[in-house]
Every structure is written in C-alpha cells, then in structure tokens.
A and B are shown apart, each in its own frame.
Chain A
Amino acid sequence: MADVTVVGQGIFLRGSIRGEGDLEIRAGSRRRRGGRRGDDRRRRSGESRRDGAPHHGSRRGRRKSDGGGRRPARRGSARRRRREGSVDRHLGGSLLRGNVQTGHGAEAQKGRAPRRGEAGRPDRDAQGSGRRRDEGQRCHAPRGRVGRASGSAASRRSCPEEGRSRRLAQTLAMSDSRARLIALLRDRSFERKKVILASGKESDFFIDCKQTVLTAEGHALVGELMFEALDKLPACRAVAGVELGGCPLASAVSLVSFQKGRPLPASTYARNRKITVRSVSSRATARSCPACRSSSSKTSSPPAARR
C-alpha cells in the first residue's frame, strides 16, 4: 500500500493505492473528515468490523460493484453515523474509489460507477444556460470536481443523468427567457387599442417592440432566444435585420452568437431601398468579421457555418 496526497485548486485530498491498483481518496485530514467513519452498505449487510487499521492483504469487505475498493474502518454508533450525512454515507468516507488499472471507479454519489470520461467532463452547459446557471452548476459540478465534499447529499441525489439534465436545463432556461421576454413586451410594448397597420388593415392591439428590445434585459433576451431559434432553420452564416425594427434584433443575435462561439455577422438594410451587393456580400462581411475570413474563401467546408 502506498499513500497518495492530491493538492491543488483548493483541494486537499489524501488516499492510498493498494495492490492491484485499488485507489481510494479521502477528503482532508483523517481526523476531521471521515476516513474512519461508517458505511451504510456495510451496516446494512450486517457485517461487523473490528475497530482498527484497514485490513491489508485481506480481500474481505471488497465489492465488485464499487470497483473493488476497500472501505476504511468505522467508528461510532449507527445512529451517529446516520446523522453524518454528506459523502460518508455513500462511500464510507471516501470521495473517490476505483482502480487505476481498469479505470473503473465510483465517486461519492451512491456508489454509482460513472461512465467513461464522465468524471472529468468540463461543465460546459453552465456557461451557456443563462439564467439557469446556478441550477446547472449545482447539478454538474460535483462530478467534475472530485474534491467538493461540502455539497449536500440531497442535491446530489436529485441530479439525474447528465445529458438529460443538461437538455432539461436548456429547455427550462429557454422557456424562462421566453416568459420573461413576453412579460417585458406586455409591460413596455403592448397596448390594447385599435390601430391601423402599415398594410391598411385595422388591428385590435398595438405593439412597439423597440421599447422592449432596446432595454438592456430585453436586448439580451431577444439575442438569446432568436439565436436559439436559428437552430430550427437551415444553417446560416449571417443574420439580416430589416430597417428599422430588425436592426437591434440583428445586433443582439450577432452579439450572442459571438459569445456562444459561433459568430454570425449582422447586416441591416432598408425595406424599400435597392440593396447593393456589397452591403451583404460575403466579401463585405469577411472584411468586417475576422472570424468569417476563413469561411469566405473557396473551401468546401466553411468552418463558421452553423451546425
């Protein structure tokens, strides 16, 4: 057996590697953070354990389900152990247990074995999901950061499969943004009154989007929602706003597209004026947008194309 210590990024972990590559990582010092505390599975199975050092060389207490790791010794009454909560409940004081040779292992999450590559996956979603960012981070962070033992066990248990929860978070964020934008439009732009439209028809409500789109929040929400809406359309490489109402829309979408790593230049044009090719040609956009420069060349696969 060899002791290992992991230090970095505000994390201090201690652990050990035993024969056959079984690795166990505990948090902090052994005295303060479990390491010797209880394990409900052992308790449930009725297996009693003499107090003392972990049994070296013995295969007793080893389970295939958690990657073959070994539990440390426990101390204290069952009731006290039940009170302990946090990670101690799940892996007997371990934050991570696994085998360095086979790559199998389990984090402190009900002993579930993560899929390959899951543990280290960066939390990309939390960046892009806007107003639901908090929830997203709470949900994904514990998997990416092994050393975070302080999160409550309940929040971890409620975290569903990563892919599903990411899609759910995105959908929730979108519906949230949409609801907020409509609330803003109702408040600032909408009016129930008879109006004569540009087409000559009469309508029973008036809406002036500009009053919403030019607020800071409205601008951000419009950019976010319209950028997401582009996913439902064939791939595009620029957005065009019709003067005058479409101009801030194009601006907002272009801004969001850059922030999301898929830059789409904006162009605006007058509805009735003759459009010069130059104002919207790929050459003009390529000149104004460095990110599109490579895609305007004669290559067959434009890198800036969406999707």
Chain B
Amino acid sequence: MKFLEALGVKIERWMRRRGPRIEEYNLIVDLLRKNPLSLAGIVIVLSLILVAVFAPIIAPYPNDVTDVHLEKSLRPMSWQHPFGTDDMGRDIFSRVILGSRISLEIAIMVIAISLAVGIPLGAIAGYMGGWIDETIMRVTDMFLAFPSILLAMAIAAALGPSLTNTMIAISLTWWPWYTRLVRGQALSLRERTFVEAAKAMGVSQKRIIFQHILPHTFSSVIVQISMDVGYVIITAAGLGFVGLGAQPPAPEWGLMISIGRTFMPQWWWYATFPGLAIMIVVLGFNFLGDALRDIMDPRLRR
C-alpha cells in the first residue's frame, strides 16, 4: 500500500512537471485531427523513409537494377509484376522502390549542403550587417537570378551527368534560399534586448550568432526543409528526365519516366508508376511542411 502511494505521488509530480509538454502533445494531436492532410503527409513521408531504408528487402526483385530479362519485357501489370515490366524485362515495382533510395539520398545531401552553407552565411549576414551583409546577399542574388532548374541544368551539364554532380548542381542553386531565410530572422533578432544583454555580458560575436540567435531560426528552417525536400526531388527527377542526372540503368524516377515516355501510350505503366511515385512523395512533403508550419505557428493555435 505504502509503495503504491509513493508511486502515485511520483506519477503526480511527473505529470505536473511535464504538464506543459503534455499539453503541447495534445495540441499537436488536435491540430492533426483537424487537418487530415497533414496526417496524410506524415504517413507518406514516414512510409517513404521506411521503404527507402528497407528497399532491398521489400523489393521482390532486388537485382532488377542491372539485371536484364528480355524474355519478359514490357509485360502489363500482374501479380508477379504489380507495376508491369520495362523494356529490359525488369520489374518496375522493384525499381520504383529501389529508386526511393536515390531520391531520398539526393534530397538529404542537397539539403545538408544547403544548410551547411546557407545558414551560417545568413546568420552572419543578418547579424553583422554593413558590407558583409551586402556582399553575401549580392552573391545570393546572383544565384537567385536564374530559375533554379535552369541553373542546375547548366551546372550539371558543365560538370558532366552523374548522381554526385546532380547533388552538387542542385545544392548550388538551393543554399541561397536558406541564407535569405536565416538572414531575415537574424536581422530582427539582433535588435532584441537579450542580444544586447549578451553583448553587455561580453559574449563574443561568434557565440552571439551561433548560440543566441541561430536557435531562434530553427522552427522556420525546419518548415522550409520539409517543403524543400519535395522540390529537390522534383528537380533531381527533372535533371534525370533531360539526361543530366542519374544515368541508366539507375532506377532513378525521372530517368525512368524519360525512357518510359517513348513507350507511351501503349506501354503506359512504364512511365506512369515512377511519375505517380514522384507525385505522391512531393505531395507528402508539402502536406508535412504545412502541418509543421501550423504546429510551430503560435498564432494558429487557439
């Protein structure tokens, strides 16, 4: 009995301490319930990640990246080949699943590079102001002056088509967006009193930028990331489609559509399923981005 009582007290104390956090979870659950699309986004993104991680296990024909079975080329959908087969007789279902890895890998690399370059530059530009800001922002303007897909194509063409070069090309067009986003926030944050207080405590500029200002920009950066993943995947697929991205026989979705469209409309499944995969994934990330924005925006809460 005594033990139970003690346990009860402990639980109560824990609940009280965690009160605000539990409330937070409830709020999020409530928001998701009100907006089923955001739930769909979360489900899609989670399944994409699961599929990508376990692709070789899930795919019924994991060797169909390179294998050729000309005897069963261009078969329509069946139980053996749910999405049909391509001109080389490879299982499109397996290739779409294996292709998720490529798309996700590109997205992660591109975002990682953009964050690593864009965020520090943005924070420095916004906080320091003056000619440093001016220089950094003019450089970003140069990159932003071109439509990102065109610039990426030009860079990819110059570097030579390959998966690595695709990542480099897209990253080069992507980082300025993060710089702008973070700079805008740093610009307003540096006027806040706590920055003044930190200065009055003798905190170094470096620490003020990275310890005091950067954490405040995380919520908007996270929303931006979740939106961007989808667009990076589209851009990568676009490069693949015009032949400047992944090279055959890689099961890259854009590349598959590019080859598959020559078999339209008779063998429609070849281009259709990779296309659907892109569409669903991009939608999923967009929904997720919207959901995260709603969750992080305190004004949308009550």
Q: Do A and B bind each other?
A: no
Binding site for A on B (CB under 8 A): none
